[in-house]
Structure 1
């Protein structure tokens, strides 16, 4: 994740150029809206299998409890949401790094020390997230992959797209080639019995023993990432590089001058993106009906599906850019901008709210709701987050977790409250 998308460096009014957090006037509102839009998608995508614990329930139980509404909802979720929201966030991370790099270069400073401190702070926050709230944290993984961006900081133009596509598409495909998979699987941590382990995780989620829950969450995080680590971090770097291309070309900062490009991206992104994104949901529907899918089919759809995810995410971004040019839609979309300005607080807040709703230490709804019920539940959570973000940013420069992150990264406490005049105008 990235908390700005525009970078954190700005010239000070002293004779010595220093790196400091970005000011409000430097923000690109479209990027804030995009980030807010993506954050709701992440919440919904995480809630269905993970927070609600459907992924840890026996398959036959889930199938027996599924209604027609559940099946339709899961298909639409797989088509329009799964993977796309996360793709947007990862590309925005890369975009943010590219803009940081440009601004640091303009000041004659190296972006590396600040980037390393930011990633270290992010990793620490991510590990704390795993220990205190939820095993599925993305922050520490994003931080690890973020170091890979330093290898490409001098790459520009279409080379960024070429490297991005290569790293995004090739490593997962190679990993799932049966002989390669079987050879590498031996180096991945795994429980002796997956079914028994899932049952233990489900019991911990629905129970009230916080110590047991923490232990099982750490184990789940290790096993989950341990299964995909061979390609996962490289794959993230690939997506970062696609975002870095957008950052170095300034297509969002200069969106009004590039509307023809975004119109074409909208058409191709939605058209081909929906086609590619439909592959996996259709496959899952067939498997749920007991239809055996040959192994080679699963391998063959990896690249088309991944391309579909990225194209559809790009199509969403283009739609937001074009809608932001229309006054009524712009006013409506800007409602999302505050949550996009404080994505770290929003993301961690989603874990807090969702675990309270579903886990045994809170309302304990895990395993007791239909899949489609997660839609109104997540809309309710996100609405409260939007209200909170508007209220908070009317008084403060950053979200609470963004302030902590920035203070850690810059090695000094950052000013938090807005000046009195800005509070009056907020």
Structure 2
């Protein structure tokens, strides 16, 4: 019995630690859009156009961009099965619980868009989760086939568009893009009205991105995660499985090659380049996961899991806090630092903030059962207010 309990705890820590790792990657991407109006307009800030700045941006494109939300989506699907298990243990009907949870997530996402950061993922997750909810009874084979078809359609549509449509015809000339980027940066330096207006003004692009790429690819990862959760693939990991090495040997070369094609091919401004990244990003993401699992289960580096798990356990709170800090650091209602940090400084700031979140998450969970956002979402899910503090009297 003791061994089973230890295995269960290890399983939860593995999932939480992977989620914490994904949270870091997502923040490194998001903070670039929080810090300046140039990335969102697909141009580099002329103030940071040195070779070194280009190398930093290129490394982020190869190794980070468009990779970590796939891992986050996979873990969302995995956790979906844990929610089903929790409902079964409580003797509760899963359907109303989950639908309330989805509604709560959507509301948080809307507030996130309006008040904190226009590049929200929560609303997309909530809407796509309705499809996952509808498919919860599908057989594993069916779920895997649907995931492959959905992801394949996204890649093929991008390749077709890249071959037969001139993507440059849909984008403004560079001079216009630079002017738009400058206006966006100035809007970031304004007050609440300017910031909320900018967030709402970006909704059409957010919806287009969600419908054309982020939503479908998230659904594919949700389904893969659901199948993995059903099979409890993360419950028996030892770290020395040969499959983990094979994933690394395949995932790193193919994934990095795709990242290079994406970066050198023009990044988000070129459809074929984006297609290369979308097609290969799952392999690089899988290689990251395999590497982290091996690290976390090695006796000398097992502390990595202990460091990451608390942040992943309250990932929703940390995700929202990251946006709040971005608002306070870069916009006019805070320090007004938009446009004043180089690419390296921006990434360094992300690492510094995330390090603080690791410590803060561990401190918080020693005293509380849930993060603030998780507590609200659990309240919506169960329909009753959960306990807040841990009982430390004993």
Deviates more, 1:28-37 or 1:214-223: 214-223
Say whether residues 1:236 and 2:218 are aligned partners: yes
With the length of structure 2 as denominator, give the TM-score of the two structures. 0.86
Matches within 5 A, 1:354-373: 354-373=326-345
Question: Deviation of residue 109 (structure 1)?
Answer: 5.5
User: 1:144 aligned to 2:127?
Assistant: yes
Q: 1:56 to 1:92 in 2, by over 3 A?
A: closer
1:204 deviates by 1.6
The alignment status of 1:329 with 2:312, answered yes or no, reads: no
Q: Is the counterpart of residue 210 in structure 1 residue 192 in structure 2? A: yes
Hey, what does 2:20 align to over in structure 1?
36
Give the 3-state SS of the residue equivalent to 2:387 in structure 1. Answer: coil
Q: Which residue in 2 is equivalent to 1:395?
A: 367
- Equivalent pair of 2:118/2:199 in contact (CA under 8 Å): yes
- CA–CA distance in 2 between the matches of 1:283 and 1:164? 27
Q: Offset of 1:40 from its aligned partner? A: 0.9
**Which moved further from structure 2: 48-57 or 147-156?**
48-57
How many residues of Structure 1 are paired with residues of Structure 2 in the alignment?
A: 377
Q: Helix, strand or coil: the match of 1:327?
A: coil
Q: Which runs of structure 2 are paired with 1:252-401 in the superposition (5 Å)?
A: 252-256=234-238, 259-284=241-266, 298-299=271-272, 303-401=275-373
State the Cα distance separating 1:99 from its structure 2 match.
3.2
Distance in 1 (CA, whole Å) between partners of 2:149 and 2:285 is: 18
Q: How many Å apart are 1:25 and its aligned residue?
A: 4.9
- Check 1:94–1:228 CA distance in 2 against 1; reply closer, same or farther (3 A cut): closer
| SS of the residue 2:19 aligns to | helix
Compare relative contact order (CA 8 Å, sep 6+) and give the higher one, 1 or 2: 2
Comparing 104-113 and 365-374, the one that deviates more: 104-113
Instruction: Give the 3 Å change call, closer, same or farther, for CA 92–197 of structure 1 in structure 2.
Output: same
1:103 CA displacement: 5.4
Bigger drift between 195-204 and 234-243 goes to 195-204
Equivalence map 1:17-166=2 (5 Å): 25=9, 28-55=12-39, 59=43, 62-63=45-46, 65-102=48-85, 104=87, 110-166=93-149
User: Which consecutive unaligned segments of at least 5 residues does structure 2 have?
Assistant: 1-7, 166-175
DSSP-derived class of the 1:328 partner: coil
Q: Is the 8 A contact 1:56 1:202 kept in 2?
A: no
Distance 1:26 1:252 in 2: 9
Per-residue CA shift, 1:330-365, capped at 9, x if unaligned?
113311111011001100000011121111211111
Provide the C-alpha distance between the structure 2 equivalents of 1:164 and 1:315, rounded to a whole number of angstroms.
19
Normalised by the length of structure 1, the TM-score is 0.80
Could you say what secondary structure the match of 1:237 adopts? helix
Residue of structure 2 in register with 1:247 after alignment? 229
Counterpart CA distance in 1 for 2:95 and 2:208 is 28
1:41–1:81 Cα contact (<8 Å) kept: yes
Q: 1:404 to 1:370 in 2, by over 3 A?
A: same
CA contact (8 A) 2:375 2:388 kept: yes
Residue 134 (structure 1) shift:
1.1
- Root-mean-square deviation (Å): 2.9
Q: Structure 1 unaligned segments of length 5 or more: list them.
A: 1-23, 183-192, 288-294
Deviates more, 1:378-387 or 1:269-278: 269-278
CA offsets per residue over residues 292-340 of structure 1, 9 Å max, x none? xxx7xx44x5554223111111111111111122122111331111101
